[in-house]
């Protein structure tokens, strides 16, 4: 019988804001945020004091200041945050080689090789982080990544929560479906429209019904709502792009005849991005064409918001570039930002 895994999800508490408060004690206890260019920028993160007013990451600065006029917004110091993140990652390395960073401030750790209780290991990791950085971290502990990540949010800030295998059924029953990995805003609305608000609600549906309503993703949700997650901690699994392409049985002569396939492919890659990589920023949209003479071209546009109008524009540009030849292959893709650069990219896009 395979031994039960011991997974820890460590999540730093208001990481960028906490660093700035550590660097400048005058900010301690005050509502503050890290962001770009005051009112015109976007918040990267907000201190817990600011969150009490409703301020949060990705919120425009002007909106945050409306909610909290006394909010202090300090500029981003990404190099400093990355330097401290590397120190924290080095602490993780004392306990396991199986580390899967999700961003600068969170990671999965597989400590299955330890005989010790994983909760005690998590406490020691958090203690060493505080001792060496004066920053607090929260942790979730369970037998899989799904539950560990959800649990890390249970006792924030500066706490931890363990969900043992015998407790998973009860833990999942009343859990909002929005907490499930891969359930974004659109999917949540879809589920709510279907009368599903909690994992317990979802557990009432059989596999066939889930597949009929939500396709392949419905089959994954069938397991996830029961706390089943077989994903392993991956040491280096940073996917750079999502794409879908098709080779036609007969070359397509008219570019407008590609529109329907183009829209379906965009929908497919967007669905994959929202289900599996919703925390990653989209850097660019890409359209690929291979022509009847086997020459090919790739057209891309930097954007966070891919749309059917955009991919049609790229298709027409690529078709013209290729001499308006017949098309034998069509592809659509999204380039994803490095997870460690997500916050910086969002800030850059938010500033004039």
Size (the chain), residues: 352
- 193: number of CA atoms within 13 Å, CB side? 8
**Residue 250 known to be catalytic:** no
Asked whether the beta carbons of 60 and 51 are under 8 A apart, the reply is no
Radius of gyration of the chain (CA): 23
Q: How far is CA 233 from CA 55, 77, 146, 194, in A?
A: 32, 29, 11, 33
Q: What is the 3-state secondary structure (H, E, C) of 212-244?
A: HHHHHHHHHHHHHCCCCCCCCCCCCCCCCEEEE
- Tell me the C-alpha distance between 6 and 3, whole Å: 9
Q: How far is CA 247 from CA 78, 293, 327, 330, in A?
A: 43, 14, 9, 7
Asked whether the beta carbons of 299 and 286 are under 8 A apart, the reply is yes
In this structure, are strands 99-103 and 106-110 parallel, antiparallel, or unpaired?
antiparallel
- Tell me the C-alpha distance between 343 and 135, whole Å: 19
Beta bridge partners of 112: none
- 25: number of CA atoms within 13 Å, CB side? 1
If DSSP codes are grouped into helix, strand and coil, which group holds residue 84?
Answer: helix
In this structure, are strands 32-35 and 160-162 parallel, antiparallel, or unpaired?
unpaired
Q: Which of 20, 49, 106, 220 is catalytic?
A: 106
**Catalytically active residues, by annotation:** 106
């Amino acid at each position: 019988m395979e031994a039960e895994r011991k997974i820890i999800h460590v999540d730093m508490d208001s990481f960028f804001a906490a660093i700035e408060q550590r660097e400048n004690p005058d900010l301690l206890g005050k509502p503050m945020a890290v962001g770009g260019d005051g009112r015109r920028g976007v918040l990267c993160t907000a201190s817990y004091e600011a969150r009490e007013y409703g301020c949060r990451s990705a919120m425009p600065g002007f909106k945050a200041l409306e909610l909290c006029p006394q909010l202090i917004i300090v500029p981003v110091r990404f190099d400093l945050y990355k330097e401290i993140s590397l120190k924290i990652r080095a602490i993780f390395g004392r306990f396991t080689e199986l580390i899967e960073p999700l961003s600068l401030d969170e990671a999965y750790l597989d400590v299955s090789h330890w005989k010790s209780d994983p909760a005690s290991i998590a406490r020691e990791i958090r203690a060493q982080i505080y001792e060496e950085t004066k920053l607090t971290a929260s942790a979730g502990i369970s037998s899989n990544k799904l539950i560990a990540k959800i649990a890390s949010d249970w006792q924030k800030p500066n706490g931890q929560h363990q969900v043992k295998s015998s407790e998973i059924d009860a833990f999942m029953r009343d859990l909002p479906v929005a907490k499930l990995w891969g359930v974004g805003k659109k999917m949540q609305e879809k589920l709510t429209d279907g009368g599903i608000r909690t994992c317990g609600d979802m557990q009432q549906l059989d596999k066939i019904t889930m597949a009929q309503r939500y396709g392949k993703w419905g089959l994954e949700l069938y397991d996830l709502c029961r706390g089943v997650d077989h994903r392993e901690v991956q040491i280096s699994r940073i996917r750079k792009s999502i794409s879908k392409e098709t080779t036609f049985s007969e070359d397509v002569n008219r570019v407008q005849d590609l529109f329907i396939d183009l829209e379906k492919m965009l929908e497919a890659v967007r669905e994959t991005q929202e289900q599996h990589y919703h925390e990653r920023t989209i850097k660019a949209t890409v359209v690929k064409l291979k022509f009847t003479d086997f020459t090919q071209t790739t057209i891309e546009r930097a954007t966070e918001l891919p749309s059917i109008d955009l991919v049609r524009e790229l298709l027409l540009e690529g078709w013209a570039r290729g001499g308006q030849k017949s098309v034998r292959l069509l592809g659509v893709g999204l380039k994803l930002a490095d997870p460690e650069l997500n916050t910086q990219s969002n800030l850059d896009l938010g500033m004039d």
